[in-house]
Chains A and B, each alone.
Chain A
Amino acid sequence: MRTRLTDDEEAVRDVFAGFFGNESAIEVVRGAEPGGHDHDLWTKLVATGAPGMAVPAGAGGGGATLRDLAVVVDVWGSHLAPVPLVEHAVAARLLHTLDAPANLLDPVIAGDRIATVALRDPVDGSARLVPAGAVAEVVLARVGDDIVARESAPPGTGPRNTGDLPLADRDLRGAEVIGPARKWTRALDEWRALMAVAHVGLARAALRLGVDYVSTRIQFDVPIGTFQAVKHGLADASTRLEGAHLLAHRAVWALDTGRPDATRLAGMALLFSAETARFVTDRSLQYHGGYGFAEEYDIQLYHRRASSWLLQLGEPGLEYARLADAEFGPTDGRRIA
């Protein structure tokens, strides 16, 4: 039992805290709006090896564990870095698992071509508002009993959205079958667990913004962080954040080590972490007063992304329903047991 980062994981965190701190300062995040993607940052991230780090070294990846990748994703989330790290990393691992042909797999592992996963299944060959769909050259999707890959030039831009995310519709007609659909669940679970961790990173940074603000903002002649009404909201935020952190990393560990409850924990962790990120950004923005609503202050950047990331997967209510089906069995109409 080790519920803190190991020394190796701390080393990974420190490296990427340095990287994102230098290369993805908040000006870079702002500069990438509204498209939500910074290609120079992606090129620099590729140079670190992060996009393919969790693919085995024999296949040209970094040979890191999902847990190591999660440590990077935590930092990525805390910087709101405008590069599609999670979608790409999940796609790269899926392609490797499916033993995809080298001309498809290798450039993705290297990060030379951006890949993504259409989290919601396409309808009639069209995938709606795909995460990273505006910038990915390779789109993976589930179609019936198959997993398919479509290589095509990305549109570069997509529709304006709350979180300034690079969402875009993608045409998947003519996509190539690369594997059986039963492998898709694992990829979605990895996305869920990694995005749970990303939400934790986001929430941690947003809480820090809130704490810093209330410690320096003077009203009624004292820092507003002196007031219990403010303190208690931030204490609740901090408590939920700690709980989300432990659950998210436990879900990643469960996937990484093949635990039987991994799917359950991944789904739970995503919902709890997303709700936590929304709660924390709500409190931190609220305690900024009117400034929190101003474009100039950074907390709004966190608030808008906390509102957005989960919805890329679809309705949260359907996520609860999916978990409930696994927990209690499917709903059974009016039949009485």
Chain B
Amino acid sequence: MDFSFPPEVEEFRAEVREFLAEHLTDEMIDATHDGTIHAPALHAAMAERGWLAGPVPEELGGGGRGALASVVLNEELQLARAPIDAMAVSIVVASILLEHGSEHLKTTVVPRLLDGTALGCFGYTEPESGSDVAAARTRAVRDGDEWVINGAKMWTTLAHIADYVILLTRTDPDVAKHEGLTFFLVPLDTPGIEIRPVPTMAVERSNATFYDDVRITDEWRVGEVDGGWTVMKTALKYERGIAGGQFPSPPVIDAAVDWARTHQRADGSRPIDDPTVREKLMRALIDVEVCRGFAYHTAALAEDGVMFGVEGSMTKLFASERYKQHCRWFQDLMGVEGLLTHHNPDAHLGGRIEEHLRHSPVTTIYGGTSEISRNLIAEGHLGLPRAR
């Protein structure tokens, strides 16, 4: 086995670090406190370098940067706390379109997603269907050359700044639920769409979107009519492969180490000299190395042309579950000071650990809950019998 990166990827890592030192500012990170995890200037600067197109395979019209360089970019962005949610989602949407979209979508929409002038968002989940995503009820009915869409989507995060939503709809209600689904890419300025904010317990804002006789032409269809489940599998593959999430913990651990070194307890001691604190910090750092192994492994498989499946679920399951634990440990480490939010000028490092603690619950839910991941691993990898 060999866990070394080729020299050109190491050089790319250095380039990314240099780029982030120049372009990523504290103001950009603070600006996410308005609830939108996106930094337009950073996004544009990355697009200018071709980094949005980078992870997309060359044969699909992307930058063909390769999986190893992509994982390095993702790692550095996450370690630096770059607000990249809109970027990650837009790249996934572009990748789906390149694999299943019409010529119209590939030539008019994809270039805009990859040059940073347009953003996409996901429209899979509904008020009555989350993990059971194939139970979607949003209807699309053909009317001549057009489709008429009616329904509602939940957790269309970023819809309020996005240009397009990639929408899972039901086109045939009379067949098995996986067989009557069709995907569309819908411009969010199409008449009949309403976007309502969904506030969360964390700083981020999500949305509910409503579709009332929304009419679009057939060229906005993605994949075959009633072939939506095939597209859904592609979407989940890219979401677990490209969208990151392997390194949520390092910013929390960095903040905890800083606190442990600088805080003086009432008895004059520093937390960093406390063996129980040191063991927790080491355990968290070990977990990060495990995540690094997972991230590099999935990238190496992709680079070798082996499409990973269960590895993506394992990575997501482990990284998010451990992240929740780390947030808990390190908010506890700070005692009552750990409760102060970013609104307080004297909150440690702008209330970073507190903010992560409130963000952490969603990470074991979105992109496939931990329970769904465990089902996939148990049935797909261990071969245990299906119950459903």
Contact = CB atoms under 8 A, between A and B. Distances in A.
Interface stretch (A117-125, A176-184, A318-326): A318-326
Closest A-B pairs by Cβ, 4 of them:
A246-B293, A231-B378, A324-B278, A235-B374
A228 B1 contact: no
Contacts of B378: 225, 231-232, 234-235, 238
A1 B3 contact: yes
A238 B314 contact: yes
Given A231-B374, A231-B375, A331-B273, A1 B300 contact: yes
Interface in B294-313: 294, 296-297, 299-301, 303, 311
Contacts of B272: 328, 331-332
B384 A214 contact: yes
B8 interface: no
Contacts, number: 166
Contact of B384 (A2, A231, A335): A231
B345 interface: no
A232 B369 CA distance: 12
Contacts of A235: 317, 373-375, 377-378, 381-382
Contact of A239 (B264, B270, B300, B377): B377
Contacts of A243: 290-291, 293-294, 314, 318
Q: Which of A207, A211, A222 has the most chain B CB within a 10 Å cutoff? A: A211
Given A226-B385, A226-B386, 14 more contacts: A1-B303, A215-B385, A223-B385, A226-B384, A228-B387, A232-B378, A235-B382, A238-B381, A240-B318, A246-B293, A253-B3, A272-B286, A328-B261, A334-B270
Interface of B: 1-6, 68, 257, 261-262, 264, 267-270, 272-273, 275, 278-279, 281-283, 285-286, 289-291, 293-294, 296-297, 299-301, 303, 311, 314, 317-318, 371, 373-375, 377-379, 381-387
Contacts of B273: 331-334
A17 interface: no
Contacts of B270: 332, 334-337
Contacts of A223: 385
Nearest to B377: A235
Contacts of A110: none
7 contacts: A1-B2, A3-B301, A4-B300, A227-B387, A250-B289, A324-B275, A333-B273
Nearest to B322: A243
Interface residues of A, number: 56
Given A2-B300, A235-B378, A268-B289, A317 B384 contact: no
Contacts of A9: 1
A253 B3 CA distance: 7
Interface string A45-83: 000000000000000000000010000000000000000
Contacts of B282: 268, 320, 323-324, 327
